[in-house]
Amino acid sequence: MKALLLVDIQNGFCPGGNLAVPEGDEIVTLANQLIGSGKYDLIVASQDWHPADHGSFASSHPGKNPFEIGTLGGKPQMLWPDHCVQGTRDAELHPELRTAEIDLILQKGEDRSIDSYSAFRDNAQDAHTGLAEFLKEREITELDICGLATDYCVRFTALDAVELMPSVKVRFIEDASRGITPDGVEAAITEMRAEGIEIITSEEALAG
Ligand code: VGL
Ligand code: ZN
Protein backbone atom coordinates (compact mmCIF):
# COMPACT_ATOMS: atom_id res chain seq x y z
CA MET A 1 0.00 0.00 0.00
CA LYS A 2 1.30 3.37 -1.01
CA ALA A 3 0.77 6.76 0.65
CA LEU A 4 1.45 10.39 -0.26
CA LEU A 5 2.29 12.82 2.54
CA LEU A 6 1.87 16.52 1.69
CA VAL A 7 3.71 18.64 4.24
CA ASP A 8 2.40 22.08 5.22
CA ILE A 9 1.17 23.31 1.82
CA GLN A 10 -0.37 26.34 3.53
CA ASN A 11 -0.86 30.01 2.70
CA GLY A 12 1.66 30.94 5.41
CA PHE A 13 4.48 29.22 3.52
CA CYS A 14 3.53 30.63 0.10
CA PRO A 15 4.34 34.10 -1.27
CA GLY A 16 2.17 36.60 0.61
CA GLY A 17 2.19 34.38 3.70
CA ASN A 18 3.78 35.18 7.04
CA LEU A 19 6.69 32.72 6.60
CA ALA A 20 6.83 32.69 2.82
CA VAL A 21 9.05 30.11 1.19
CA PRO A 22 10.37 31.32 -2.19
CA GLU A 23 8.17 29.82 -4.97
CA GLY A 24 6.22 27.87 -2.35
CA ASP A 25 3.03 28.18 -4.40
CA GLU A 26 4.70 26.67 -7.47
CA ILE A 27 4.39 23.16 -6.03
CA VAL A 28 0.59 23.21 -5.88
CA THR A 29 0.11 22.15 -9.52
CA LEU A 30 2.47 19.18 -9.05
CA ALA A 31 0.90 18.28 -5.72
CA ASN A 32 -2.53 18.23 -7.42
CA GLN A 33 -1.18 15.98 -10.20
CA LEU A 34 0.16 13.58 -7.56
CA ILE A 35 -3.16 13.67 -5.67
CA GLY A 36 -5.15 12.92 -8.81
CA SER A 37 -2.74 10.34 -10.22
CA GLY A 38 -4.43 7.26 -8.82
CA LYS A 39 -1.00 6.03 -7.68
CA TYR A 40 -1.76 6.41 -3.99
CA ASP A 41 -3.98 4.31 -1.73
CA LEU A 42 -3.88 6.98 0.96
CA ILE A 43 -3.22 10.73 0.98
CA VAL A 44 -2.33 12.65 4.13
CA ALA A 45 -1.66 16.39 4.51
CA SER A 46 -0.02 17.99 7.53
CA GLN A 47 -0.94 21.48 8.70
CA ASP A 48 1.20 23.70 10.93
CA TRP A 49 -1.37 24.86 13.49
CA HIS A 50 -0.05 27.20 16.16
CA PRO A 51 -1.75 29.07 19.01
CA ALA A 52 -1.27 32.87 18.72
CA ASP A 53 1.30 32.87 21.54
CA HIS A 54 3.38 29.96 20.27
CA GLY A 55 6.86 29.75 21.79
CA SER A 56 8.54 29.48 18.37
CA PHE A 57 7.40 33.00 17.48
CA ALA A 58 9.94 35.81 17.95
CA SER A 59 7.00 37.89 19.22
CA SER A 60 6.88 35.59 22.29
CA HIS A 61 10.51 36.54 23.14
CA PRO A 62 10.89 40.21 24.11
CA GLY A 63 13.80 41.85 22.30
CA LYS A 64 14.16 39.07 19.74
CA ASN A 65 13.63 39.32 15.99
CA PRO A 66 12.45 36.66 13.56
CA PHE A 67 15.23 34.38 12.25
CA GLU A 68 17.34 34.87 15.39
CA ILE A 69 18.11 31.93 17.64
CA GLY A 70 16.42 31.94 21.03
CA THR A 71 15.62 29.25 23.55
CA LEU A 72 12.50 27.17 23.99
CA GLY A 73 12.22 24.48 26.65
CA GLY A 74 15.90 25.03 27.45
CA LYS A 75 16.99 24.24 23.88
CA PRO A 76 18.12 26.49 21.02
CA GLN A 77 15.17 27.45 18.85
CA MET A 78 15.00 29.32 15.56
CA LEU A 79 12.55 32.14 16.18
CA TRP A 80 9.99 32.58 13.42
CA PRO A 81 7.63 35.33 12.42
CA ASP A 82 4.12 34.65 13.71
CA HIS A 83 2.76 32.10 11.22
CA CYS A 84 -0.01 29.58 10.69
CA VAL A 85 -2.02 30.78 13.67
CA GLN A 86 -5.04 28.54 14.22
CA GLY A 87 -8.15 29.74 12.44
CA THR A 88 -6.42 32.37 10.31
CA ARG A 89 -6.12 32.45 6.52
CA ASP A 90 -2.34 32.04 6.94
CA ALA A 91 -2.93 28.58 8.42
CA GLU A 92 -5.31 27.36 5.71
CA LEU A 93 -4.09 24.88 3.14
CA HIS A 94 -3.42 26.55 -0.22
CA PRO A 95 -6.86 27.32 -1.74
CA GLU A 96 -6.04 25.51 -5.00
CA LEU A 97 -4.91 22.28 -3.33
CA ARG A 98 -7.27 19.38 -4.10
CA THR A 99 -8.22 18.82 -0.47
CA ALA A 100 -11.40 16.83 -1.22
CA GLU A 101 -9.20 13.85 -2.12
CA ILE A 102 -7.08 14.05 1.05
CA ASP A 103 -7.91 11.25 3.52
CA LEU A 104 -6.44 12.86 6.64
CA ILE A 105 -5.44 16.41 7.53
CA LEU A 106 -3.13 16.20 10.49
CA GLN A 107 -2.54 19.31 12.57
CA LYS A 108 0.70 19.83 14.52
CA GLY A 109 2.45 22.53 16.52
CA GLU A 110 -0.44 23.20 18.92
CA ASP A 111 1.66 22.96 22.09
CA ARG A 112 3.05 26.44 22.70
CA SER A 113 5.95 25.07 24.77
CA ILE A 114 7.59 23.16 21.91
CA ASP A 115 7.94 23.36 18.12
CA SER A 116 6.98 20.45 15.90
CA TYR A 117 8.61 20.38 12.48
CA SER A 118 7.90 16.70 11.92
CA ALA A 119 4.39 15.47 11.18
CA PHE A 120 5.20 12.43 13.36
CA ARG A 121 6.34 13.98 16.67
CA ASP A 122 7.52 17.16 18.35
CA ASN A 123 11.09 18.50 18.17
CA ALA A 124 12.01 16.81 21.46
CA GLN A 125 10.94 13.54 19.79
CA ASP A 126 8.56 13.19 22.69
CA ALA A 127 4.85 13.62 21.93
CA HIS A 128 3.73 11.61 18.90
CA THR A 129 0.92 12.72 16.60
CA GLY A 130 -0.25 9.15 15.88
CA LEU A 131 0.70 9.36 12.19
CA ALA A 132 3.10 6.38 12.33
CA GLU A 133 0.40 4.18 13.89
CA PHE A 134 -2.16 5.45 11.36
CA LEU A 135 0.10 4.49 8.44
CA LYS A 136 1.03 1.13 10.00
CA GLU A 137 -2.64 0.26 10.56
CA ARG A 138 -3.31 0.88 6.88
CA GLU A 139 -0.36 -1.36 5.97
CA ILE A 140 1.52 1.37 4.14
CA THR A 141 4.78 0.02 2.68
CA GLU A 142 5.74 2.99 0.50
CA LEU A 143 5.58 6.67 1.45
CA ASP A 144 6.24 9.59 -0.90
CA ILE A 145 6.78 12.97 0.79
CA CYS A 146 6.76 16.52 -0.60
CA GLY A 147 5.79 20.04 0.47
CA LEU A 148 7.08 23.01 2.46
CA ALA A 149 9.63 23.65 3.70
CA THR A 150 12.27 21.17 2.47
CA ASP A 151 14.84 22.35 5.06
CA TYR A 152 12.49 22.18 8.05
CA CYS A 153 9.20 20.34 8.18
CA VAL A 154 9.75 18.12 5.13
CA ARG A 155 13.24 17.17 6.31
CA PHE A 156 12.23 16.21 9.86
CA THR A 157 9.10 14.43 8.65
CA ALA A 158 11.06 12.29 6.19
CA LEU A 159 13.79 11.45 8.72
CA ASP A 160 11.17 10.44 11.30
CA ALA A 161 9.38 8.31 8.69
CA VAL A 162 12.45 6.11 8.20
CA GLU A 163 13.26 6.02 11.91
CA LEU A 164 9.73 5.19 13.10
CA MET A 165 8.75 2.90 10.20
CA PRO A 166 12.00 1.15 9.18
CA SER A 167 10.24 -1.27 6.83
CA VAL A 168 8.60 1.51 4.78
CA LYS A 169 10.26 2.71 1.58
CA VAL A 170 10.43 6.52 1.85
CA ARG A 171 10.95 8.84 -1.11
CA PHE A 172 11.28 12.64 -1.23
CA ILE A 173 9.80 14.35 -4.29
CA GLU A 174 12.23 17.19 -4.85
CA ASP A 175 10.48 19.30 -7.49
CA ALA A 176 7.19 19.18 -5.56
CA SER A 177 8.92 20.82 -2.59
CA ARG A 178 10.59 24.16 -1.82
CA GLY A 179 12.90 25.30 0.99
CA ILE A 180 13.61 28.46 2.94
CA THR A 181 17.33 28.69 2.02
CA PRO A 182 19.41 26.99 -0.72
CA ASP A 183 22.04 25.85 1.82
CA GLY A 184 19.33 24.41 4.03
CA VAL A 185 17.84 22.51 1.10
CA GLU A 186 21.23 21.08 0.14
CA ALA A 187 21.92 19.94 3.72
CA ALA A 188 18.45 18.43 3.97
CA ILE A 189 18.86 16.44 0.76
CA THR A 190 22.30 15.18 1.81
CA GLU A 191 20.93 14.08 5.18
CA MET A 192 17.82 12.43 3.74
CA ARG A 193 19.90 10.54 1.17
CA ALA A 194 22.31 9.37 3.92
CA GLU A 195 19.33 7.94 5.81
CA GLY A 196 18.23 5.89 2.81
CA ILE A 197 15.52 8.20 1.49
CA GLU A 198 15.29 8.13 -2.27
CA ILE A 199 15.30 11.58 -3.93
CA ILE A 200 12.95 11.53 -6.90
CA THR A 201 11.11 13.87 -9.29
CA SER A 202 7.34 14.15 -9.58
CA GLU A 203 7.69 12.59 -13.04
CA GLU A 204 9.18 9.47 -11.42
CA ALA A 205 6.47 9.48 -8.75
CA LEU A 206 3.74 9.74 -11.41
CA ALA A 207 5.36 6.90 -13.39
CA GLY A 208 5.14 4.57 -10.40
C1 VGL B 1 7.92 25.18 9.15
C2 VGL B 1 9.24 26.69 10.27
C3 VGL B 1 8.30 26.82 11.25
C4 VGL B 1 7.73 24.29 7.97
C5 VGL B 1 6.96 25.31 10.15
O6 VGL B 1 6.58 23.93 7.65
O7 VGL B 1 8.75 23.92 7.34
N8 VGL B 1 9.06 25.87 9.23
N9 VGL B 1 7.16 26.13 11.18
ZN1 ZN C 1 5.59 26.53 12.53
User: How would CATH label the architecture of 2-50+84-206?
Assistant: 3-Layer(aba) Sandwich (3.40)
In the residue annotation, 146 being an active-site residue is answered as no
Pocket of ligand 1 (CB under 6 A): 8, 13, 48, 80, 117, 148-149, 152-153
- Give percent above pLDDT 70 in the chain: 100
Instruction: Give the mean model confidence (pLDDT) for residues 107-136.
Output: 98
Rounded-to-integer distance, Cα 103 and Cα 125, Å: 25
Ligand 1 pocket mutation, candidates 152, 155, 160, criterion most atoms within 8 A of CB: 152
Give the pLDDT confidence score for residue 208 in this predicted structure.
78
Beta bridge partners of 4: 43, 144
Which atom of ligand 1 is closest in space to residue 153's alpha carbon? 7
Instruction: Give the mean model confidence (pLDDT) for residues 159-188.
Output: 98
CA R_g for the chain: 16
Residue 143 pLDDT level (bands cut at 50, 70, 90): very high
Average pLDDT score, the chain: 98
pTM equals: 0.98
Q: How far is CA 19 from CA 29, 87, 112, 157, 191, in A?
A: 20, 16, 18, 19, 24
Which atom of ligand 1 is closest in space to residue 154's alpha carbon? 7
Tell the residue nearest (CA) to atom 2 of ligand 1.
152
Measured in angstroms, how far is the CA atom of residue 122 from the centroid of ligand 1?
12
Peptide bond into 45 cis (omega under 30): no
Instruction: Give the mean model confidence (pLDDT) for residues 146-175.
Output: 98
DSSP character string of 178-206: E-S-HHHHHHHHHHHHHTTPEEE-HHHHH
Give the pLDDT confidence score for residue 75 in this predicted structure.
96
Measured in angstroms, how far is the CA atom of residue 58 from the centroid of ligand 1?
14
Contacts of 109 (CB under 8 A, 6+ apart): 48, 49, 50, 54, 56, 84, 115, 116
Whether the per-residue pLDDT at 140 is higher than 90: the answer is yes
In the residue annotation, 14 being an active-site residue is answered as no
Give the pLDDT confidence score for residue 45 in this predicted structure.
99
In the residue annotation, 39 being an active-site residue is answered as no
Residue 177 pLDDT level (bands cut at 50, 70, 90): very high
> Which of 14, 48, 84, 108 is the catalytic position?
108
Measured in angstroms, how far is the CA atom of residue 190 from the centroid of ligand 1?
19
